[in-house]
Structure 1
Amino acid sequence: MRILKIVVYIVLGFFIFTILAAFGGYLYYANKFPVDEIYYPNYIAYIDQENATLNDVYTLCDAEAIYYVHHGAAEEGYAGNKKQFRNNILASYKNEKYKDSGYLNFRFLVSCEGNPGWFKIIQVDEAYNPTQFSKRLVDQLLALTAKPEHWNTINVRENPVDYYMYVSYKLKDGEITEILP
């Protein structure tokens, strides 16, 4: 009787494993969630290099292989560290009586030589609704963020690579209250 139970458990386990493997294969190969290539022609976080801001200052080493696509390089990207970056930005930033509040987001590429460019600028208010900040404020923070001395070269398999980066400035009445990530 005991051997029969063991055989039943083995057969049942094999049966469940087979069903799960078949279901996984179905999800993998059946393309259950097709992508609308017309509505979504690019991958998540894509930066159109032709229409980006500061797209003509530097060149990328390999525009086909850009690393850290979805989340950006974060801590690795900062020359020195994030605290130094924050201190440099806060020391250089001048609030010229701006009243803007919300988030000013820069998503950009850094070349294999550590040169930033190809900026996509996203401006949202405190409720995350699209907005427009003062042009002078945006230009000032763009110029500060785009300084090459703020960014590292990053190696993958001992080769320097181009990578995505992002910086978000949380603003309250024109003052920087937080720098993310």
Structure 2
Amino acid sequence: MASCQTENKLKKYPDTVGDIEFDKRQDDPDFKKCGSEKWGRVSFQHYQGAKQFSYRGEKIAITEKLKKENIYSEKNINGYITVRFLVNCEGKTGLFRLRHMSPDLKDSVPDEELEKKLLQFTKSLGGWMPKEIQGLKVDYYQYLTYKIENGKVSEVLP
């Protein structure tokens, strides 16, 4: 038998592990998730059939654009900055979240200015393509991890 307290606790968790909840302090209120009668407002994770990288020009287009932007840190830092976000069924992006790690994959705080520049760069990428699963256009999570060596982006992952 579930009590009212149990029901309240269950509601605070997302529908799917890894879902990003809207935060009015940092998210664009005009960004809308899509939905379908079949799945509701489920956003697909990489482990749920949204595995392919779907960007016009593939990852090489992102890498070339990043080179042109010449984004770097004045500090001689090393590590990783991951930007995770949602691509909706129209190919629009939102709900951006950052994570930074040291070269040995421990939480760290790199150059905040570099972090802001990479976030803005990621938000500026307009070539994300909608995905279809079982014939329905769906929202899906995407991430870009920037490998930082000596203050410069040396690689874009995945």
The runs of 4+ residues in structure 1 deviating greater than 6 Å are none
- Amino acid of the structure 2 residue aligned with 1:48: E
Aligned to 2:4: none
Q: Deviations over 1:21-47 (max 9, x none)?
A: xxxxxxxxxxxxxxxx77x94443232
- Give the TM-score, by structure 1 length: 0.68
Counterpart contact for 2:79–2:147, Cα < 8 Å: yes
Aligned length: 144
Per-residue deviation at 1:125?
Answer: 0.6
Cα separation, 1, equivalents of 2:125 and 2:157: 18
Cα separation, 1, equivalents of 2:132 and 2:152: 35
Aligned to 1:49: 22
Matched, 1:123 2:107: no
Aligned to 2:5: none
Q: Deviations over 1:32-90 (max 9, x none)?
A: xxxxx77x944432322237843435211127221235478454322221111111122
Cα distance, 1:144–1:125 mapped onto 2, change above 3 Å: same
Matched, 1:112 2:89: yes
Correspondent of 1:85 among 41, 45, 62: 62
What RMSD, in angstroms, separates the aligned Cα atoms of the two structures?
Answer: 2.6
Per-residue deviation at 1:136?
Answer: 1.4
Cα distance, 1:71–1:175 mapped onto 2, change above 3 Å: farther
In terms of fraction of residues, the more helix-rich structure is 1
For structure 2, which runs of at least 5 residues remain unmatched after alignment?
1-8
Cα separation, 2, equivalents of 1:57 and 1:72: 27
